[in-house]
Every structure is written in structure tokens, then in C-alpha cells.
Amino acid sequence: MTARTLTRKGAATRRRILEGAATHIREHGVAATTLDDVLARTSTSKSQLFHYFPGGREELLLAVARLEADRVLEDQRPQLGALTSWAAWQAWRDAVVDRYRRQGRLCPLNSVTSHLGIAHLRDSGPTRP
């Protein structure tokens, strides 16, 4: 949906769906997250979801993966720009470990990308040289 400019209200609705999906995946994992779960969590309709994510679940999961990857990079950006000493490397490591401890048992980025990888392998079939 990035090819088209959204209105402020449209962007807010798309963001609400995306954030709701990411939150549900963090709490329950990808396999236990359905589109109906996302709709219920975000108080949106199926037509809204498919308007902003016409590719359905796979497109939504890709968007969640992008969101989570951006969050990981944004969280680490201050430390990554200052890795000039051993103490800085240790502080970066401690910040990363702390973030993942606070995050809980499910890593949303790993959950989503692992699931998408399996789906893509299943859809593409065996590769040939």
C-alpha cells in the first residue's frame, strides 16, 4: 500500500491494524494469530484490512516484520553509532539483552520472518540448480 498516498485518517487506520497485529503476534505468536484476531483487537472491518493490506495475511505479516525490524534498529541506533570502546560494546550488548528480556518470550521479528520463510519455501517448491 506504499505506492499510494494515504489520508491522515487512512494512515492512522493502517497503522492501528499494523500495531494491533504486531502486539497480538508478540503476545500469542504468528501461528496463533488470525486475521479475525487482528480485526477484533483493532476494531476494524475485513474490508478495511484488505484495503490497506490487499495481499491479506502474508502482506500484513511482511509489514509487521518491517515494523519490528525498524524497531530493533531504532532501539540500537544510539549505541551502534558509538561503538568506539570495549565499554561501549558492552553497553550495547547489555541494552540488547535487556530489550529482549523485557519483550517477553516471543520475538516478533523472528516469529514473523520464520513463518514467512516457511510459507515462501512451501509456495515456491523445490529449487533446482
Distance CA 28, CA 24 (A): 6
Res 10: pLDDT: 95
Look up cell 541506533; give the residue: 77
- Look at the domain 8-120 and name its fold: Tetracycline Repressor; domain 2 (1.10.357)
Most confident of 1-5, 15-19, 62-66, 81-85: 15-19
The answer to whether 63 touches 2, Cβ cutoff 8 Å, is no
Res 125: pLDDT: 44
The answer to whether 100 touches 14, Cβ cutoff 8 Å, is no
Distance CA 32, CA 10 (A): 27
Query: What ranges in 1-129 are assigned the alpha helix state H?
Result: 8-28, 35-42, 46-52, 57-80, 86-103, 108-124
Mean pLDDT value across residues 90-98: 86
Q: What is the pLDDT of residues 28-75, one digit of tens each?
A: 888 889 999 999 999 999 999 999 999 999 999 999 989 988 888 888
pLDDT more than 70, % of the chain: 77
Q: What count of residues does the chain have?
A: 129
Does the pLDDT value for residue 104 go beyond 80? no
The answer to whether 109 touches 62, Cβ cutoff 8 Å, is no
The mean of the pLDDT values for the chain is 81
The ranges assigned to domains in the chain are 8-120
Does the pLDDT value for residue 22 go beyond 60? yes
Does the pLDDT value for residue 109 go beyond 70? no
Helix 86-103 to helix 57-80 angle (10° resolution) is 150
